[in-house]
Amino acid sequence: MQLTNRSKQVSNKEMTLAERAYLPAIATGLAITIKHFFAKKVTIQYPEVKRYLGPVFRGRHILKRDADGRERCTACGLCAVACPAEAISMVAAERVKGEENLYREEKYAAVYEVNMLRCIFCGLCEEACPKQAVYLRHDEFVPVFTERDQVIWGKDLLVEDMNNRYTREAWTKEEARALDVKRASGEITNVVPRAIP
Amino acid sequence: MDLVEFLVKTVTIVAVFGLTLVIAMYSTWAERKVAGFIQDRSGPNRAGWGGLLQPLADAGKMFFKEDFIPALANKWLFIAGPSLAMLTALLASAVIPFGSTFRIAGHEVPLQGVESNIGILYVFGVVALGVYGIMVGGWASNNKFSLLGAIRAASQNISYEVAMGLSLIAILMMSSSLSLGEIVAQQHGMNWNIFYQPLGFIIFITCSFAECNRVPFDLPECETELVGGYHTEYGSMKLGFYLFAEYINMFISSAIISVLYFGGYNYPGMDFVYAQLVKALGSETGHNIATLIGTAVFFGKALFFVFFYMWVRWTIPRFRYDQLMNLGWKKLIPLAIFNIIITGAAVLFLKPVITAWLN
C-alpha cells in the first residue's frame, strides 16, 4: 500500500565519494535554508492582526437574548451542574409583573457569574443549556486581566447587547468555506474580531 | 614613543574595541533574526524598530538576574572563567587591519590597533588562550557536566588548531610574511588568496567553526548530552560574558577569514576609485574617503562571514564526538598537509613557469 509519493527506498549501499565528502550535502542544505530565509513569513503579528479562528472556536461566554430582546436564561442551573471546573454560579429570581419585556421565562438569573480563571472553555454549559441562553463566542477571547476583580464576569459583561448581536454565521465546514469566499471577495460579514469593552 | 603617537594608538584601540563590542552585541540580535527568517518566522520585532533594542533588553535582563556562585565552586576561578573568555576574545581584535591608512595633517595613521610583524601568530596565540576561559570556568564549577564540556572544548580546540595552523602555512608560504597588514597588501588587485587556496580556505573555515564552538561543532555546550556544557552553573552576566565572547570570537574569525582569503579592505576597481577621489578631493580628504570605503568593504566581507556562521548554524545538525575527532585528525590534517605540498610545488615550479609565460 502506498500512502504518499514521497516514500523512499532505504538502502545500505556504500556512499559515493561526493556523499562522503559531505560538502555537497552541506551546500544543498544551505540552499534550502537560504530559500526559506527569503520566503514569506508565516507569522501573524498577533495583537495587531487577528486571525479568524473558525465557527466552532470557544471564546468568551455570552448570555443570549431572544428576538424581542428578552433574556433567555431561566436560571435552571444546568450549566453550573454541567461545568467540570465549577466556574458558573447564579442566583435565581422570580419575574414580577411588568418585567415581561425583560425576561422570557417566569424565572430568571438575577446574578450570573462566570469565573474566567476557573473556566476551561470546554463548552459543556452550551450543551447543557435547554434554553439556548449561554454560548461561547467564536469571535472574541476573554481579554488579559491584570486585577483580581476583573476575573469574575457578571451579567454586565455577559448579557448580549441588542445593538451588537452575536450571530454565528457558519456552522459546518462547507458554510465556513463559503463564508471565507465571501470574506475574500470583500463582502462584509458579521464576524469581525473586535476588542472587548 | 611620543605622546601623540600614544594618543593615536589609544584612540584606535578603543575604537576597535568599541566596534568589536557593538558588532558582537548586534550579532546576538542578528542571530535571532536569521534563525527566525530561516525558520519562516520574523524573529524579535517588539523591542524597538525591527527588534533593534533587543540586545539592550537582553543585557538588562542578564544584569538583573541573581549573580549566583555554587557553594562548592572555586570562587575565584569561577569568576576568572568568563573574564578570561571575554579578555582573550577581545585581545585578538587588536592586530586586524580594518583599512589602509588615515592621513591626518601629514601623518599616516594605520587603521589597525597594533601593526605587528607577527600578527597572525599573535592571533593564534590569543585564540589558543581562549580555551582557558572555558576550561577554567568548567573546572571551577565543580560539576561533572561542566567539566565534561570543558574537556570537550579543550580537546576540540587543540585538535582543530593543528589543522588550522597547517592550512595557514600554505598562505604563509605564498605571502612569506606573518604580518596581517602585509598579507592584505599583497592581495591588492583581485589577487585574493581564495583563488589560490580554495582547499586551504575550506579547511580554515571548518576549523574556525570548531574554534568558535559553533554549530556543527558546538559539542562543549551540547544540551542534549551535557545540560549546558561548561556554562551549566553560570547565570547572570557571567553567562552573558560567555555567550558574548562567542559572538566576539565569531566576528574576529570572520575578520581573519576576510583578511587572509578575501583581500581584507581590497575590492575590485580600488585603484580607479582612489585615483578619482584623490583627483576630486585632494590627497588628504580623498585618501581618507578611499580608506573609509575600503573599511566598509572589509566590514561587509566580515559581516557576510558572520552571517555565514549563522546560516550554517541553522542548517547543519551537530556532529557526534567521534565524528568530530575523526574529521579533525583523519581528514582535515592530512588534507592540510596535502595542501601544503601542493602549494610548495606550485610556488617552486609552477610560479616561475607562469611568470615566464606572462612576461
CB within 8 Å: A26 and B316: yes
If chain B, 359 residues long, is cut into consecutive pieces of 10 residues, what is the mean pLDDT of each piece? 78 84 89 90 86 88 87 86 87 81 73 77 85 86 86 87 88 84 81 84 89 80 76 85 88 89 82 79 79 87 91 87 87 90 86 80
Nearest CA to B180 out of B263, B288, B102 is that of B263
Q: What percent of chain A has pLDDT over 90?
A: 24
Amino acid code (one letter) for B281 = L
What is the H or E stretch that residue A93 is in?
strand A88-94
Spell out the domain ranges in chain B: 64-358
- Predicted pLDDT of residue A86: 92
Identify the pLDDT of residue A195: 38
Number of H helices, E strands in chain A: 6, 5
pLDDT at A196: 39
Predicted pLDDT at A193: 42
Q: Given this model, what pLDDT does residue A173 score?
A: 67
CA distance B39 to chain A (A): 7
Q: Which residues of B touch A36 (CB under 8 A)?
A: 37-40
Task: List, as ranges, residues 23-52 from B with C-beta within 8 Å of A.
Answer: 34, 36-42, 45
Mean pLDDT of chain A: 83
C-alpha distance from B32 to closest chain A C-alpha (Å): 12
Which residue carries 459543556 as its cell? Answer: A124
Interface mutation vs chain A, best among B38, B39, B42, most A CBs within 10 Å: B38
Rounded Cα gap, residues B6 and B12, in angstroms: 10
pTM: 0.79
Q: Residue B178 in contact with residue B116, Cβ under 8 Å?
A: no
Task: Using CB atoms, pick whichever of A29, A34, A37 lies closest to residue B316.
Answer: A29
ipTM of predicted complex: 0.77
Q: Which helix (H) or strand (E) holds A21?
A: helix A17-21
**B66 close to A (CB below 8 A):** no
**Distance (Å, whole) CA B109 – CA B328:** 41
| Contact between residue B160 and residue B211 where contact means Cβ atoms under 8 Å apart | yes
Q: In this complex, is the C-beta atom of B353 within 8 Å of any C-beta atom belonging to chain A?
A: no
Secondary structure letter of residue A151 according to DSSP:
T
pLDDT value, residue A81: 93
Sole residue written with cell 574537556 = B151
* Pairs of CB atoms within 8 A across A/B: 39
- Region of poorest pLDDT, from A73-77, A162-166, B232-236, B317-321: A162-166
Chain A interface, best mutation among B33, B34, B40, by max A CB count within 10 A:
B40
CB-based contacts of B214, cutoff 8 Å, min separation 6 = B246, B250, B309, B312, B313
- What residue has cell string 542571530? B31
Q: How far is CA B308 from CA A40, A109, B209, B210, B268, in A?
A: 21, 66, 10, 14, 22
